[in-house]
Amino acid sequence: MSLKPIRPPLRLVIFDCDGVLIDSEPLSQAVLAEEALAHGWRMTEAELHETTGLTWSALKPVLEGRLKLELPDNWARMMQDRIVAVLGTHVKAMPGARTLLEQTAALGLPYRIASNSSHEEMDQKFGATGLLALVRGRVHSARDVARGKPAPDLFLAAAEAEGVPPERCLVIEDSAPGIAAAHAAGMQVVAYAPPDGVVRQVHAAAPHGAVGSLVELLPLFKAACVELTR
């Protein structure tokens, strides 16, 4: 997959969690499919992929509209708790995730994680995959801000925490809501589209292109942060 150069100097990389660093989307989709089926909706693969990147709070009205019912007020919290309960034994890191984080740090390039997942979910995901030490103190959840993706709040909060202006940030995303949030935040964005994943038209919305492997990002980072000063 072709990439366009990033506008230098790059001063912060913001990674999405699910589908970029952590291979947890199939698990989340399985839990969602199970929940929908319990209420009479057998979700298709295409319908499940359309939910990628959305918070459980955002999914609640989707299910309520389709099923013509009212879910409990605490439904989103209940679903998050279900995910947390199974993450420890079923989740794994995306190929190359550890190398990417370690070598990004070796470049002297700051990075942060911005996800619609809760902190409890991400603690489980990063802990189970052995990445927790690499992300500790760098993680931002949609619960920390007024609005999750596709609003820009989460990415803007990550940039503010690092003291970097949005135009000097690069977002790595795999979902339509995430790419939309990066655009809204005024940040550059590259899509991650692993070859064994579902190819989504939203990747065309990432102006700098897409990568099929996380390690492909390292030359891009290196070229864009040549002028990096702290």
Output the pLDDT for position 101.
97
Output the pLDDT for position 1.
54
Single-letter residue type at 114: A
Question: d(Cα 118, Cα 77) in Å, to the nearest integer?
Answer: 10
The domain ranges of the chain are 12-24+91-224, 25-90
**pLDDT tens digit string along 188-227?**
999 998 775 554 555 556 777 888 899 999 999 998 886 5
Output the pLDDT for position 22.
93
DSSP state of 136: T
Q: Residue 110, Cα to own-chain centre: how many angstroms?
A: 17
In the structure encoding, which two tokens stand for residue 143, read together?
């619960």
**Segment holding 141, helix H or strand E:** strand 139-141
Percent helix, strand, coil in the chain, to 5, is 50, 15, 40
DSSP state of 102: H
CB 22, CB 91: distance < 8 Å: yes
Burial class (CB in 10 A: 0-12, 13-18, 19+), 188: buried
In the structure encoding, which two tokens stand for residue 181, read together?
């949030």
The arrangement of secondary structure in 12-24+91-224, i.e. its CATH architecture, is 3-Layer(aba) Sandwich (3.40)
pLDDT under 50 in the chain at which residues?
199, 229-230
DSSP state of 18: B
Instruction: For residue 38, give every residue at least 6 positions away whose Cβ sits within 8 Å of its Cβ, in sequence order, or none.
Output: none
pLDDT, mean over the chain: 87
Output the pLDDT for position 45.
83
Output the pLDDT for position 229.
46
